[in-house]
Structure 1
Amino acid sequence: MYGMVHTAARSMVVETMGDAAWRNVLSQADLDGEYFISGQNYSDKVTFALIDAITKVSGIETPDLLRSFGQYWIGYTAKSSYGTMFRVGGDELESFLANLNRMHASIHSTMPASRMPSFEFLRTENGRIDVLYTSDRDGLLPFVEGLLKGLMDHFGETGRVTHAVTDEGDVFSLHCDARNSAAPGAA
């Protein structure tokens, strides 16, 4: 994964637990003194070592930590140098979700070693938005749940996110309490 994921993790740990906790995380992950460069590619082993170390230092179970980090990631990214690309994705939840793969393709063009997930906008009905998620990485479903909840928050939607394995694959449903706009292509 790219260093931007690791710098976001550092930011979240420092904001919530302090600099000493981050140093402890690095030590637990055998990365003592490591500085991450946003545009540099790092082994997934480094990423998962950080996740494991953060769970040990924080006492938060891995799925809960990943959900929290997913939500945090949205705000962090929107405020970062990638915020412009983030804003181009759309100014409402449905359009942003429909443009996620295009945004990831754009990122991939500048970071060719990246392995981006796929988010296919499937449908919207009765205040529910279904998105098909595919990735060659295992263990990140709670992170995706957090990302989608973070997007709901970012776009002023309230509700919850659920996950189901269906004939289509891993489908996340965003259950929005109130809908202010129609989905792309909805009649």
Structure 2
Amino acid sequence: MKKQSLLLLMLASTLIGVGQSWTKQYDRVDACNCGYALVEKNGKFGYVSEQGKVLVSLVYDEAMAFSENRAAVMVDGKWGFVDVKGVEFVKPQYTEVYSFHDGLAVVGKGDNYGFIDSTGNVAIPLRYSNARSFGDGFAPASNQKGLWEYIDKNGKEVISFRFSYATSLTDGAGRVLLNSKWYTIDKDGKLTKEE
């Protein structure tokens, strides 16, 4: 029994090693996400399949992991997005971006932030001084005074500007800073003071 277990362990180790031998040709390999791994070689980023096949050429100065079958990529200090086929459906034009969540991605130009949809069209105009990703259908966004609120996917205010800081909702709850105290907030705006 011990001999069989040892033999199986050795076989599994060999197969795993063979399957990942392609990783050695890159300076950096991030974990596969959606079946694609972010890779870097000589300061350029791209994406490969789990088998090591190049899916998006290593031509980008920076890149983020795929989220909702889209990934943010940077060229010459500007961010855009590619799809899983490597098609650049948003040309690099933004100074800051976040990954797609709930079908929308935060984009920023200078001091103005908004959201684009999965086709690259502006869904919520760049009218906020900062914003975070959508979660559970809501996103935190701040006005020019630095106060945060929560908006829905149409850009409609659902919980008004009053927080010094706010996080995205996860599993129906987020965190907000109000009067120098942290609270948990739910989708209805109910606050629970954190101890």
Give the alignment's TM-score, normalised by structure 2: 0.25
More relative contact order, 1 or 2 (CA 8 Å, 6+ apart):
1
Whose helix proportion is higher, 1 or 2? Answer: 1
Whose strand proportion is higher, 1 or 2? Answer: 2
